[in-house]
Amino acid sequence: MPRTTLTLDDDVAALLAHVQRKRKGSFKQIVNDALRRGLQPDAAPGRRRPYHTPSVDLGRCNLANLDDVAEALSIAEGESFR
């Protein structure tokens, strides 16, 4: 098993120390587990399937024209929207 020296950013070291206290594991094991999870092909940026928002039919628009935002708001919320 090769040995190496890593210089960790302060925030990463703090997160690892927090996880180590929480899981009561060795620092070596916590780092190895985190690296394994982060290096999985599914965890790599750009490898995830893109999320698609499901579409929903909201029915017919009740307003004849949506060009006048003030009119649309007054119909939706009443004149007190101002």
**Choice among 3-17, 36-50, 67-81 with the minimum mean pLDDT:** 36-50
Is pLDDT above 90 for 20?
yes
CA 19 – CA 40 distance, rounded (Å): 19
Of 2-6, 19-23, 59-63, the poorest mean pLDDT is in: 59-63
What is the identity of the amino acid at 50? P
Helices (H), 3-78: 10-23, 27-38, 69-77
What is the per-residue pLDDT across 24-68, written as a single tens digit (0 to 9) for each? Answer: 999 999 999 999 988 887 665 666 677 899 999 988 887 777 888
pLDDT of residue 7: 94
Cα gap 66→72, rounded to integer Å: 6
